[in-house]
Structure 1
Amino acid sequence: MDRLRRFICLGSESGTYYISETDLGIENAACIQRLIDDGRGVEAVKELITYSTEGRVAKDKPIIFALAFLARNSKDLKTKTAAYNALSDICRIPTQLFIFIDFAQNLSGNTKGWGRCQRTAISDWYNDKIPKQLALHVTKYIQRNGWSHKDVLRLGHVKPENQGTSVILRYVVKGLEATKKEYLKEDSPSNIQELISYLEVVDTVKHSGDKQQVARLIEEYDLAREHVPTSMLNCREIWRALLQHMPMTAMLRNLSKMTTMGLFPSRGDNTKLVVDRLKDEELLRKARIHPFNVLIALKAYEQGKSDRGKLRWIPNEQIRAALNSAFYASFKFIEPTNKRFLIAVDISSSMTHGGIHGTPQMSPAIGAAAMAMSTARTEPHYQIVAFSTDIRPVELNGSLTVQQCCLKFAELSEGGTNCSKPMQWAMEKNLAYDVFIVYTDCETWYGNTHPSEALRQYRAAMNIPNARLIVCCMTSNGFTLADPEDPGMLDIAGFDSAAPEVIRNFVMGHL
């Protein structure tokens, strides 16, 4: 079960979180098969539901693969039924549903057809949605992974259970005109008329060449970027309309694009709207965005060019300053773990060169300083040290900026990266810690003692059997220090927006 938790959170049983996407197949799911064989399939499904609903997973694919495996590879009817009943809990949007179907298809081998259980589950997925919500889903997420709603409805033999759902499914299969002909009557209920009106708007946006009309409809009906044809996404007025109701995460992701469109002059309503949102602490709290992710947005924005492609922009100074303020403001919304931390930051000169694998706009030095500062601002019990071949305590407090933290580490810059040193130093000083976190670039050198052995020695000497070690190699795309048989060790190859949540889950013993 511990291996299952690791698999659904990391995409691997081994104790390594890879920033890059990894291919998932039957060979990755040995722990799931053992749970099925031991009669614990239903228990495994319950664990998937818990981790999904509590938002503990870093990426969608591993947990969806696990669900598909339990649904398709189990001969136990209770397990199969439980897995299919959990489909709507874990696959909440069509993109996730299409991923599940794709995995289920691949796991089925040469078997033809979907079977009654899968058809029923797919049918329930569509029928369980409120019609307005379903209308948004089928128009926003039309197709992914080679699957479309039209394919799914045909293979799933989906039968609508109410008139609202009937309208939407008819629209998917037959189009707008056929839907209007069948359901739009003078005496049609108001909810049916509203649904058809929404579908008409979506169709108009899809086919209209009038940018002013499209912008007006986007704003009036709160349409998303996915509703807008690609040909329209080079229009300033379209982006202005999208911005009005854009969620915080989407706004951060699209700031650069909107700046290239000239949406943010030094003074103007759009600039004020973005700045006000970034300074609204209640919006930041509700968005639940980790400070590291705000920092990613800030670094991406202020560099003035995309890492891929040809986008170039001149950053708006007011927005840049607001992003900086949002970064520091968002620390107060992190819930402390109340564990005892030793944070060890590599001070070799290579930390200042190149970009982080998964976050290329940021150097390892800045990423490590930001994460160390995150601990200093949110946790009551911590010690921060700089390490190379030796250890030096560093005084960081919650009032320092990232730049000030970087300067403190830069003043101590040395060569060498002994990843065993933090545990050895803590043992020598007789200091009690629950969690060791090592931030380095791609150096995983150690002296005469392997880090896994140093951790075991520390546990025994200090009588802290559950002490944990995380090694974050920020520019690496693969390395091995963690003992795969030790649930208290974790390697992170690279560092992306999901990594802070992976660290938190590991610290709390959730994986």
Structure 2
Amino acid sequence: MANKSLFASLKGRFGSETNAVNLAGGNAYKYDDQHKLAQLAVTGTIGDLYYQDAEMELATVLQVANAVPDEFLAKTAVYARQQGKMKDLPALLLAILATRDPVLLSRAFPKVASNGKMLRNFVQIMRSGQTGRRSLGSRPKALVRGWLNSATDYQLLQASVGNDPSLADVIKMVHPKPRDAQRDALFAWLIGKPCAADALPAEIRDYVSFKADPKGRPVPDVPFQMLTHLPLSQKQWMKIARQGSWNMVRMNLNTFLRHGVFEDTQATADVAAILRDPQRVKKANAFPYQLMTAYQALSADMSLAIREAMHDALELAVANVPSFKGQVVVCPDVSGSMSGVVTGLRKGATFRTRFVDVAALVAAAVLRRNRGGTVLPFEVNVRKVALEPRDTIMTNAQKLAAQWGGGTNCAAPLEWLNQNRRSPDLVILVSDNQSWVDTWGRHHGAERTGVMRAWETLKRRKPDARWCASTLRPTARRRPRPGRTS
């Protein structure tokens, strides 16, 4: 007999009464703890969002993390870092694991603390007391010491950029035993203690000399953040722009503009070539979202050549978006709650990119790879918007995001498909999934959600249709606040 829990009919699995209330007050279905943690791990930012604040999200993460097995917690931390490319949540899960299983911590640590920023995130969270302790403990200290001694000189320099805690704070906290005289001198230099200058790595010696007198000297091979406070010439800024990594160049275009790099035609062409270089884009594992964020942040005075290079780079970055068989429908949520910024509201870390921008970007990228696809932006109802598949992804994403506003009805695109007797093979919905229009005022447990009712109607017409609901933000369950609307 087949496993009934896995192979139950659609009606048996999803036709039951709702058992939860989402953040907007609509009927919903409760996730189990492992499902919930996995979703939080790859969408969470621990910042203030439209329907929840940072404290609520943190409390939810701690609650579900403490309810799952240690091995699942460790695997989730590694997956969120390596596959989800997340930062804060993997470090938080690693800190929780540190209080529960030191053996699993040792196995997960090098896969999560993959660079100096992640190392400092882990130490910061451990010292905060949010995971149950304010000190690192013997095993975490040993792991941090191991990272400090195994990291390359350049990785340590990269890790030294930033505070709270600074790398110097971390070194003073764990007291690593230097592996050799050069590492001993470097540790001393990083924490501001006297050291043997001739024992320092060559790039540090070059940097010290350059810092003392940058005029006419070649730019040293150090993280560019270590140079920005120095009185650099226009030519030196051009050299920094030309020798930077793809990600560094993408993130600092406005800085280069302010320092005259794009006043030079050849320098502008060189930077544009870096941005649209297929090999560099692939090596950087560039996310379309990163390019959209960088594009939105560009100064109004930015060179047209750089803007066009960003369009080209985004086209390259969606090369891994699959083309699907059959009729594809993608439904980006453009309702009012999608106006929140994807990073959450965090001092010094808030971007301009909103959830509606990301939903629109996903829709435009799917349309690019599936030219016969249909895009149905929705809020309370489906909105009509004319898109040209041959337009750039950035252009189509901007058209969709401009539709922003209104309440939330996640069933709207499915109802539109039913009314128009459409039978798609795949429906992709991109939303915060806080639908409330069709269930407002009802108590959970009363009936199925509007989405499931509409989906079951579509499935009767197209039994092999597939449904993919993508959540762009972490969700937590709570009772609705009276009068709260999208």
For structure 2, list consecutive stretches of 5 or more residues without a partner in the other structure.
Answer: 1-33, 344-349, 479-485
CA apart distance, 1:203? 2.5
Q: How much identity, in percent, do the aligned residues show?
A: 16
Matches within 5 A, 1:137-152: 137-142=155-160, 144-152=162-170
Q: Distance in 1 between matches of 2:157 and 2:238?
A: 21
**Contact 1:298–1:320 (Cα < 8 Å) also in 2:** yes
Residue of 416, 428, 433 corresponding to 1:436: 428
Structure with more contact order per residue of length (Cα contacts < 8 Å, sep ≥ 6): 2
Cα offsets for 1:242-276 (capped at 9, x unmatched): 112111222122112211222212x5321121122
Contact 1:339 1:381 in 2 (8 A): no
The Cα of 1:375 is off from its aligned counterpart by 0.9
Match of 2:8 in 1: none
Q: Give the number of the structure whose residues are more often helix, by fraction.
A: 1
* Cα separation, partners in 2 of 1:28 and 1:318, compared to 1, 3 Å: closer
Q: Distance in 1 between matches of 2:51 and 2:206?
A: 39
- Is 1:52 equivalent to 2:106 in the alignment? no
Aligned to 1:226: 225
- Per-residue CA deviation, residues 16-53 of structure 1 (Å, 9 max, x unaligned), is 98799935756631122112xxxx21342133223322
Q: Does 1:321 align with 2:317?
A: no
Counterpart in the other structure of 2:374: 383
* Alpha-carbon separation, structure 2, partners of 1:411 and 1:258: 29
Aligned to 1:210: 214
User: Residue deviations 1:339-383, cap 9 Å, x none?
Assistant: 9753235789x99xx997769767998766544221111247842
**Alpha-carbon distance change, 209 to 339 in structure 1, aligned in 2, over 3 angstroms:** farther
> Please, which of 442, 449, 463 is the counterpart of residue 453 of structure 1?
449
Q: Which residue in the other structure is 2:469 paired with?
A: 469
8 Å CA contact 1:64, 1:91 repeated in 2: yes
Task: Give the one of 230, 237, 241 matched to 2:239.
Answer: 241
**Counterpart contact for 1:42–1:82, Cα < 8 Å:** yes
Residue 42 of structure 1 aligns with which residue? 71
Looking at structure 2, the residues matched to 426 and 44 of structure 1 have their Cα atoms a distance apart, in angstroms, of 40
CA distance in structure 1 between the aligned counterparts of 2:149 and 2:374, rounded to whole angstroms: 53
Alpha-carbon separation, structure 2, partners of 1:285 and 1:178 = 41
- 1:101 aligned partner, one-letter code: V
Say whether residues 1:201 and 2:206 are aligned partners: yes
Q: What amino acid sits opposite 2:290 in the alignment?
A: N
8 Å CA contact retained: 2:330, 2:374: yes
Secondary structure of the equivalent of 1:147?
A: coil
Distance apart, 1:96 and its partner CA: 1.6
Distance, in Å, in 1 between the alignment partners of 2:129 and 2:334 is: 47
> Structure 2 matches for 1:58-457, cutoff 5 A?
59-72=86-99, 74=100, 79-107=101-129, 114-129=136-151, 133=152, 135-142=153-160, 144-173=162-191, 175=193, 178-180=195-197, 184=198, 196-206=201-211, 208-213=212-217, 216-218=218-220, 222-228=221-227, 230-232=229-231, 235-265=233-263, 268-301=265-298, 303-304=299-300, 314-335=301-322, 341-344=328-331, 370-379=361-370, 382-387=373-378, 390-391=381-382, 396=387, 398-401=389-392, 405=396, 418-428=409-419, 429=421, 431-432=423-424, 434-437=426-429, 446-447=437-438, 453-457=449-453
Instruction: Please list every run of 5 or more consecutive structure 1 residues that lacks an aligned counterpart in the other structure.
Output: 185-192, 305-313, 473-477, 486-493, 495-511
Q: Please, what is the CA RMSD of the aligned residues?
A: 4.6
SS in 2 for 1:425: helix
Secondary structure in 2 aligned to 1:66? helix
After superposition, what is the alpha-carbon deviation per residue over 1:310-366, rounded to whole angstroms, capped at 9, x for unaligned? xxxx33232233333333344335455779753235789x99xx9977697679987
**Structure 2 Cα separation of the partners of residues 110 and 426 of structure 1:** 50
Q: How many residues align?
A: 428
Determine the C-alpha separation between the residues in 1 that align with 2:132 and 2:65. 21
Judge conservation of contact 2:363–2:397 (CA < 8 Å) in 1: no
CA distance in 1 between partners of 2:401 and 2:43 (Å): 32
The structure 2 residue matched to 1:22, chosen from 46, 50, 54, is 54
1:12: how far off?
7.7
TM-score when normalising by structure 1: 0.68
CA distance, structure 2, for counterparts of residue 112 and residue 414 of structure 1 = 44
**2:330–2:429 Cα contact (<8 Å) kept:** yes
Q: Evaluate the alpha carbon distance shift between residue 318 and residue 416 of structure 1 in structure 2; reply closer, same or farther with a 3 A threshold.
A: same
The superposition leaves residues 453-491 of structure 1 with CA deviations (integer Å, 9 ceiling, x where unpaired) of 12222444416798343477xxxxx9x9x7859xxxxxx
Provide the TM-score with structure 2 as the length reference.
Answer: 0.71
Query: Structure 2 vs 1, CA of residues 381 and 41 (structure 1 numbering), >3 Å: closer, same or farther?
Result: farther
Can you list the C-alpha shifts for 1:79-127, whole angstroms capped at 9, x where unaligned? 2221134222211222221221121122388967543212221221123
Corresponding residue SS for 2:429: strand
